[in-house]
Each structure stands twice: as C-alpha cells, then as structure tokens.
Amino acid sequence: MPPDTALPEARLTAARAALDRLWSRGAAFLGCRYAIMGGAMSWVSERHLVAAISNAGAFGVIACGAMNPDQLAAEIAGAQALTDRPFGVNLITMHPQLDDLVRVCLAARVGHVVLAGGVPSGAAVRAVKDGGAKLICFAPALVLARRLLRLGADALVIEGSEAGGHIGPVSLTVLAQEVLPHVREVPVFVAGGLGRGEAILAYLEMGASGAQLGTRFAAAAESIAHANFKQAFIRAAARDAVPSVQLDERFPVIPVRGLANAGTKRFLEHQADTLRRFQSGELTREAAQLAIEHFWAGALRRAVIEGDVEHGSVMAGQSVGMVGAVQPTAAIIAELVEQAAGALASRPV
C-alpha cells in the first residue's frame, strides 16, 4: 500500500506508538516528545525559532556563533521567556570566549550544550559536565566518535555533507553505516539532507536515536530570516545547494554548502585575482589567504537579515528542494512525524 493512500486510524495510531518507541531514547535524552533537533544556524536559530521548535514538541538549539557572553545571555533569556520546554545552545569550540559562554549557559540552567566546530578541549568538556549540563558533540567519523566518547560526550550528532553551512567530506548515508552499528553507548542523532519523515524513520531503524534538521526550519514562519531568503529556499532545487569551490590547494577554502548565486561566482573570480596577485609578488602568502578568507565576512547576515540573496551567503542543505512553502514550525514537525508514521503504517501486516 503506498504511503499516501488513506490508512485506518487504528493502524496510524499503532504506527505513531511504534515511532515513539524507536526514538524514545533520543526523546528522553533531550526531554521532549519528538527526537528532532533544530540545527544551529547563525542568525536564524535565535529565540523565536528555537522556542517555536521546542513548543511544538521537538528540541530547539540556539546558535551562539560569534555572540559575546552578554549577547548569549540575552538570547537565552529571550528564549526562556517564549518557552518553558527544554532547548540547547550550540557553542563553537574555537570561540575566544568559550569558557565564559559555557558559564553563561550553566548560569541560565541550560540543560544541553552542543560543542561544535572541532574536538573540544578536556577543560571545556569538564566545565559543561561538572556544571550539570549534558554534552552533545559532532562526530564526522567513527574514530572521532570514539574519541569524543572517551572525552565524555553524552550524545553525538553525525552530520553528512548534504547539510547546509560548514560541512565535512562524507555523506550521511556513509556516516550512518560507519557509525550507527558501532556506537551504542550514547544516543546518536543523524543530520544532513533530511527533509522527510520517511528518511528519519530509516535512520531510526538503523540505530539512530533521533535526527537534526536545519534547512526545513530556516524557512519556517517563525524564522526571522528575510522574506527574500525564504523565497530563495522555496525556488531552489537540491542541485542548487553546492559547496564552496577551492581553486588552489595552497590557499584552503573551508567547505560551506549554500545556494549558488552571484556571490559564489564572484568568490571564484576573487580567488583567481588573489592568486594572480600572489604569483606576481603583490601579496604575501599570508595576505592572500586572509583576502580569500575575508571575502565572505558579513555575507551570511546580508542574506539572512538584509535579504541580499544574490551577493550574500545563502547557506542551505540539499534538502532545500523539499522546502515548498513557508510553514509554521509546528506544521513542519507534524508533517515529519506523520510521514514517518505513515510509512510504518503502510507496511504489509
């Protein structure tokens, strides 16, 4: 029976109960009804979207990004004023004020801290755990997953290269096969390219405890992203979300997935011009690297907040092709849950 065929309510009810059992470990760990985490997207994952995700029964995550401690404290307080449900905070391990940011989270009684952007230091791990919060880390490979478990991570996220923003080199399809059969000690959440409930279900049945989605929520009604940003998502196909291109291995470019636009074309031209100036002796190697790195400074804010989707950085995952409209966050989550339950219910008895 196809998943879109009308199904008896009794079968759907049983399927929803089965789905609850599949992600019960992840839901219990997060303290929410549905083991769906909101991806931490700079400028997008702020108090309004985070609270909307948590209020709908999932788990919102504030993206601290480059915030200073006072800004983060205000954002946490703002989210707490909008929801009494659990939510987490994502901190970048390379942030120069990481210790202070951890203290802000603990003082505000944030129950879950996500350390992203690299392997956290032992001191940062101890600070989070000694403060009573649960620690979530990103594991881009099985060997790093085991290392993070030894450090004390309470849960892991494995994020495939299909994701938006900063990405690793391996797809979720491969990461899941590499990690899920071998990591049972803690909950593992899958991320990258997820846009439908059937896909979430498949990974739950492989051993995942839940899922993390960003792109579907970026265009939610409660997202503060500019209308132009949301419309760019609605118009885009999966193939439009491409990683940044590096022209010369001597000048590394951090891989970031976003929608191709005039800015991405200009970045290639900028790299080529910078290489020419380096080879002519006009720029030192260090100056050339900085020139390349600084090209996108402020570009994400220009796209998300100001609506410049032609020249700004429109970070998006390949699931962007599944964003068909601006929807309330609760409707997105309900749709994902019903898709997963529908797939379960439609299986032959």
| pLDDT per residue as tens digits for the range 51-107 | 999 999 999 999 999 999 999 999 999 999 999 999 999 999 999 999 999 999 999
Confidence class for position 276, pLDDT limits 50, 70, 90? very high
Cα 312 to Cα 301: distance, rounded to the nearest angstrom = 8
Strand order across the beta sheet in which 256-259 lies: 165-166, 256-259, 241-243
How many CA atoms are closer than 13 Å to the CA of 118, on its beta-carbon side? Answer: 9
Q: Which residues face 315 on adjacent strands?
A: 258
**pLDDT-based confidence at 2, cuts 50/70/90?**
very low
For residue 266, give Cα distances in angstroms to 159, 262, 269, 290, 295: 28, 6, 5, 16, 9
Q: Which amino acid is at 324?
A: G
Return the pLDDT at 3: 47
- Would the pTM of this model clear 0.85, i.e. be above it? yes
Give the pLDDT band (50/70/90) at residue 348: confident
pLDDT recorded at residue 349: 74
The Cα-based distances of 135 to 118, 128, 226, 297, 338 in angstroms read 14, 7, 32, 30, 30
Per-residue pLDDT of 228-251, as tens digits, reads: 999 999 999 999 999 999 999 999
279-315 per-position pLDDT tens digit: 999 999 999 999 999 999 999 999 999 999 999 999 9
Cβ neighbours for 251, distance < 8 A, ≥ 6 positions apart: 271, 274, 275, 278, 288, 289, 292
Q: Determine the pLDDT at residue 7.
A: 78
Of 186, 200, 196, residue with least CA distance to 25 = 186
The 10s digit of each residue's pLDDT in 93-152 is: 999 999 999 999 999 999 999 999 999 999 999 999 999 999 999 999 999 999 999 999
- All structural domains of the chain, each given as residue ranges with its CATH number in brackets, are 9-224+324-345 (3.20.20.70), 237-315 (no CATH)
3-state secondary structure of 99: helix
The Cα–Cα gap between 19 and 344 comes to 8
Q: For 59, which DSSP code?
A: B
> Would the pLDDT of 5 be above 70?
no
**Which pLDDT tens digit goes with each residue over 16-65?**
999 999 999 999 999 999 999 999 999 999 999 999 999 999 999 999 99
Residue 204 makes CB contacts below 8 A (sequence gap 6+) with 19, 22, 23, 210, 211, 340
